[in-house]
Chains A and B, each alone.
Chain A
């Protein structure tokens, strides 16, 4: 029986079938990739961004997604961390000042911060208006002292020459040597980026530069500069982060829905805001509501200046020193009506300094390798090829499932479809009533479900239970067994697809540094048969393939 020739033919057929399956799944994956990125009038961008927000809302407190340093680890020298120091009207009033913050106050405040021995200090204020000479010299003097102690001081600027007016004052130190602003301050950009679709600040610029300027020649953004200066090779770090990126490029900010535990000692709001995926299933708001407990440890300047304002920092300030020792202090303002607010994905509005603080937290959490969208990567097509590869695997699993399902259920019915027996029972049941009656009843039911969202889940669950009961009642034993096998097959294929997605997410997030904007797309693709609607293209492809085979066979015979 058979022989070497038959075995070769069988092998050839198998190879041909595998090749055809691979090509068909590739075609399906390409169609899916197109639809996942089909940005008709910009509709794909908001859905991707919302998907990403959901991922951070549900898992943002997990270390595998966003490995922030824990409160316990804070204070350890090996764990640099970020602390926001918040100036407000009350803090200014303690020193008899008022908004806008005078340079004199900044000078005093820097001197107070010196005691905390931070790693670095950012002043998220634009000191671009003229100030009395003595105040400017005080500020430069304190900054020079901090720098001599190894505490870098960063100052927000909008242009490279913003520090020139300070230099023009001609300040000198106690020995008579001139103090130049550029020697004591590191100028940093504080420009923000927001998504066009919803104006939420999800990404952080690497640098501020003109569109036509080469990469790496702009003013480095605050968080990037502060992070890189803390590494062993600052210039190489900045070069690596800004290299070969378009001017509008930025890295994606991971957010945690949780507030920093330290903030609970002053915040009225709970710092443990967790949005469970179950809430979304139950048709409740999927994203956390506005939280007044920010995700970065925050020290109010009033508390720092006056122990009466916050006696909980320890009788010997031990909690204060534990918080700020070796920290990156980012000094920002929270003034009513100043407009210095940033819209965040998980905490709605926060004072602008948190934008820089979270960016620095991201750089620290991801070891200077933050997540960057595909559209800013080079070569861009390589990252879309990665997506295609993932979708190819998912499509192959889908087609394999379809193939096996066809074997299990010759009628090629989905395990979720109604059986002919059930249809045969339901149709006469409704046919007892006049057509207008049941159509109006169905319309009323759908109208109620559309109006009252709480009814949707209840109605869907009720309908599913009723349909299952009808199937169990009217379908034959063999039919039910086939359906159960089909469901098991579906679950098996889903498990395999989920394994592929987990692997894709791990490789994409950990190694390719891609943000989680595509994750829910993968999932919906696999779970809900997203591309079932597009199998028509496969049928069309098969038909073309048959024509090609027929033409080739015809050519050979002739």
Chain B
């Protein structure tokens, strides 16, 4: 009886979807477009939200500026870095003040030279809600925080993608997380 239960449990565990593995990046990756350039904004003349930081240390909201601040002469901007097909890095490191380093902007808010080629392969979006119920326990981050422990760093992307060569970004599961943060990162959770 016990053996049956163990066998069932092993099959169930093996068949289960890895709970904490992030989904892979999209197939059509803007980071794979060579010599990509930012041609202009698509925000209805609203300020562009810019991020500072890098994939290793994480991204932080820096400021929101008009396109004219990023490109005073309305010139296309070279993409010097790319992250997971949705963040583009520009050489500008002063639009949000000093010390931010090169800034990042979401692909959603800008038009790029690579879009014309990619638009030929575009398809209709398909999403679905995950509303299935499972009679199982997920790999759940518990509420408790170890006593006398400093707040652990949240999980960061660990694929540096800065530099002139566009990269696709690796899935975090394929690389180890920071060895200095062995405890699970206590972090917000959805209410339930």
Chain A positions within 8 Å of B, measured between CB atoms, are 86, 88-90, 92-104, 106-108, 110-112, 114-115, 117, 124-132, 134-135, 138, 141-142, 145, 156, 158, 190, 265-269, 290, 292, 294, 300, 302-312, 315-318, 321, 332-341, 348-352
Contacts and interface: CB of A to CB of B under 8 A. Distances in A.
A349 B47 CA distance: 38
B101 interface: no
Contact of A115 (B43, B127, B159, B190): B43
A507 to B, nearest CB: 38
B67 interface: no
Contact of A131 (B55, B151, B157, B158): B151
B191 A104 contact: no
Contact of B172 (A96, A141, A321, A339): A96
Nearest to B127: A266
Interface string B177-188: 000000001111
Contacts of A334: 129-131
Contact of B46 (A103, A115, A303, A304): A115
Contacts of B156: 96
A96 B141 contact: no
10 contacts: A98-B21, A102-B154, A102-B155, A126-B190, A126-B191, A129-B186, A130-B145, A158-B191, A311-B123, A317-B108
Interface string B16-48: 010111111110111000000000001110111
Contact of B130 (A269, A315, A335): A335
A338 B131 contact: no
Given A104-B60, A129-B187, A115 B192 contact: no
Contact of B26 (A102, A142, A145, A308): A308
A112 B46 CA distance: 12
Nearest to B124: A312
A110 B49 CA distance: 10
Given A93-B23, A306-B85, A312 B188 contact: no
Contacts of B131: 290, 292, 334, 341, 348-351
B22 A92 contact: yes
B163 interface: no
Given A88-B130, A93-B22, A310-B125, A125 B190 contact: yes
Given A96-B172, A129-B145, A265 B22 contact: no
B153 interface: yes
B134 interface: yes
Given A128-B188, A131-B187, A94 B85 contact: yes
Interface of B: 17, 19-26, 28-30, 42-44, 46-49, 51, 55, 58-61, 64, 83-87, 106-109, 118-119, 122-134, 136, 138, 141, 143, 145, 151, 153-159, 169, 171-172, 185-192
Question: In this complex, which of A125, A318, A338 has the most chain B Cβ atoms within 10 angstroms of its Cβ?
Answer: A338
A306 B42 CA distance: 13
Contacts of A114: 47, 49, 64
Q: Which 6 A-B pairs have the closest CB atoms?
A: A96-B157, A93-B22, A337-B138, A310-B125, A111-B61, A333-B190
A125 B188 contact: yes
A294 B30 contact: no
Given A98-B22, A102-B185, A93 B171 contact: yes
Contacts of B60: 104, 107-108, 134-135, 138
Nearest to A103: B188
B129 A129 contact: no
A190 B191 contact: yes
A266 B119 contact: no
A258 B66 CA distance: 40
Contacts of B128: 267-269, 292
B190 A335 contact: yes
Given A129-B186, A316-B42, A352 B191 contact: yes
Given A95-B87, A351-B129, 4 more contacts: A130-B145, A131-B187, A142-B61, A336-B130
A89 B51 CA distance: 21
Question: In this complex, which of A103, A117, A132 has the most chain B Cβ atoms within 10 angstroms of its Cβ?
Answer: A132
A316 B107 CA distance: 12
B42 A317 contact: yes
Question: In this complex, which of B23, B43, B127 has the most chain A Cβ atoms within 10 angstroms of its Cβ?
Answer: B127
B4 to A, nearest CB: 25
A96 B84 contact: yes
Given A110-B61, A134-B60, A338-B138, A306 B127 contact: no
Nearest to B47: A115
A409 B62 CA distance: 87
A124 B119 CA distance: 34
A321 B42 CA distance: 10
B12 to A, nearest CB: 14
Contacts of A337: 19, 134, 136, 138
Nearest to A338: B190
A117 B154 contact: no
Contacts of B30: 308
A131 B153 CA distance: 8
A108 B59 contact: yes
Given A108-B61, A305-B106, A267 B187 contact: no
Nearest to A130: B151
Contact of A336 (B19, B42, B126, B158): B19
A313 to B, nearest CB: 8
B128 to A, nearest CB: 6
A255 B173 CA distance: 41
B191 A312 contact: no
A454 B185 CA distance: 57
A258 to B, nearest CB: 16
Contacts of B158: 96
Contacts of B19: 336-337
B125 A266 contact: yes
Contacts of A103: 154, 187-188
B188 A129 contact: yes
Question: In this complex, which of B43, B119, B129, B154 has the most chain A Cβ atoms within 10 angstroms of its Cβ?
Answer: B129
Given A102-B185, A126-B188, A126-B189, A95 B129 contact: no
A108 B51 contact: yes
Contact of B189 (A129, A304, A341): A129
Nearest to A263: B127
Given A94-B86, A107-B60, A307-B107, A100 B44 contact: no
Contact of B191 (A112, A156, A290): A156
Contacts of A94: 25, 84-86
Question: In this complex, which of B17, B29, B122, B155 has the most chain A Cβ atoms within 10 angstroms of its Cβ?
Answer: B155
A321 B190 CA distance: 27
Contacts of A339: 192
A318 B45 CA distance: 12
